């Protein structure tokens, strides 16, 4: 099993204390994670020793940093079971979704299927596509206990369905969706599939070949990496139907005054100077997680989530959203305390015990409407969180419910 106490020593922020001496209890990992020293050092190393542009210089320093940059791509590709040519560096998962949205060839009447549990990043781009290209947008609903209503999936399909876009793990109810099954059903009808893996790549083993998806996106900052770096996976087959959404330098092989010729994969989707420091930092984050083992990451989160579900389930004042089994969900729990606004709960947790949680709509407003609530509190766990922290969260929530 994972040794959180040893891991915590790698995270400088966890050594900080508030003015009253209370340590930071960081439970907002679904929004962004803390960064270990190894990742921080990788970013600093680029700026201190390797600052140069990639792919463009023949001098030694440029060649060295180009090798480091492409080695980072190889490290990340291996982490998700992809070929390096299928890994495109982006700013974040959101940009990856938009590259697909604007890179596909849309015709009026084409259809996109997504779900009511999507993050706005995997919803708003399709609404724009709908309005811009006269595409029809359909939604797969959820059951009352937070699972996708898979039984009704095929009823949404038609001969005009072009793309299925869904998350692997919900950032609110935490549900781990049956992506592999849905991909298979979609591919039987030659429908492309995009998977938002922002809440899954940091937490569970990912193998894009096993999933079979055409596109997959995730963000570095949610998996110990720097902000401003993410990945869009494009399978070799799908690369033939996706056109560059942005133009500029590096993504071309030849340009005249009439038209350009695109570069090979993956560089045709990476215009301009890339985030070299971010790529090196993300590779360091991947190496850190690989050293721990993604199976161990998953087991640790199940243990913490199971404890939180039991403890919070014992509080009559607390309503939990999503699956009741820790094995069916990612390492996060959205909940509300009866008669107390979610923002007030978050503020009291912060004030009383320096516990950082998220409150509000979590960029998933339609899902909250489907759940029948205005907002929720979300506690999300990661490798440096401990059983003691989960118990402190639950004890403090019990105290808040009694006080208010």
The answer to whether 96 touches 213, Cβ cutoff 8 Å, is no
The one catalytic residue in 204, 363, 371, 397 is 363
Q: Which residues pair with 215 in a beta bridge?
A: 194, 234
Residue 213 among the catalytic residues = no
Distances (CA, A) of 107 to 104, 110, 114, 391: 10, 6, 18, 53
Report the helix count and the strand count for the chain, using DSSP H and E.
Answer: 13, 15
In 47-196 the beta strands, taken as DSSP E runs, fall at 87-90, 111-115, 136-140, 161-167, 192-196
Q: How many residues does the chain have?
A: 404
Provide the pairing of β-strand 111-115 with 161-167: parallel
The answer to whether 236 touches 229, Cβ cutoff 8 Å, is no
Burial of 351 (0-12, 13-18, 19+ CB in 10 A): exposed
Residues 6+ apart with CB under 8 A from 149: 140, 141, 142, 143
Residues taking part in catalysis: 363
């Amino acid at each position: 099993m994972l040794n959180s106490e040893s891991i915590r020593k790698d995270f400088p922020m966890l050594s900080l204390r508030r003015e009253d001496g209370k340590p930071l209890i960081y439970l907002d990992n679904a929004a962004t994670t803390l960064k270990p020293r190894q990742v921080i050092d990788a970013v600093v190393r680029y700026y201190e020793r390797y600052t140069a542009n990639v792919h463009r210089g023949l001098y030694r320093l440029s060649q060295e940093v180009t090798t480091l940059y492409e080695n980072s791509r190889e490290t990340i590709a291996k982490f998700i079971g992809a070929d390096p040519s299928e890994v495109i560096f982006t700013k974040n998962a959101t940009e990856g979704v938009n590259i697909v949205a604007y890179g596909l060839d849309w015709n009026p009447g084409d259809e996109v299927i997504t779900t009511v549990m999507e993050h706005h990043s995997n919803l708003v781009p399709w609404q724009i596509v709908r309005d811009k290209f006269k595409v029809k947008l359909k939604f797969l609903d959820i059951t009352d206990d937070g699972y996708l209503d898979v039984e009704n999936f095929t009823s949404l399909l038609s001969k005009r369905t072009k793309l299925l876009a869904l998350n692997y793990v919900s950032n609110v109810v935490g549900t781990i969706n049956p992506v592999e099954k849905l991909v298979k059903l979609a591919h039987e009808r030659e429908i492309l599939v995009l998977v938002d893996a922002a809440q899954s790549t940091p937490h569970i083993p990912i193998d894009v070949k096993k999933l079979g998806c055409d596109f997959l996106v995730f963000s570095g900052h949610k998996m110990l990496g720097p902000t401003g770096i993410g990945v869009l996976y494009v399978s070799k087959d799908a690369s033939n139907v996706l056109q560059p959404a942005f133009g500029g330098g590096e993504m071309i092989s030849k340009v005249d005054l009439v038209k350009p010729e695109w570069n090979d994969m993956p560089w045709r989707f990476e215009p301009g100077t890339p985030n070299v420091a971010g790529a090196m930092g993300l590779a360091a984050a991947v190496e850190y997680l690989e050293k721990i083992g993604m199976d161990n990451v998953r087991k640790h989160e199940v243990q913490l989530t199971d404890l939180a579900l039991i403890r919070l389930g014992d509080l009559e004042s607390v309503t939990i959203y999503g699956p009741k089994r820790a094995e069916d969900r990612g390492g996060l729990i959205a909940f509300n305390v009866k008669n107390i606004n979610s923002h007030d709960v978050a503020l009291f947790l912060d004030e009383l015990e320096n516990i950082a949680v998220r409150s509000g709509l979590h960029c998933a407003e339609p899902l909250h409407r489907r759940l029948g609530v205005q907002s929720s509190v979300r506690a999300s766990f990661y490798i440096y969180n401990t059983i003691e922290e989960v118990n402190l969260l639950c004890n403090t929530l019990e105290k808040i419910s009694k006080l208010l």
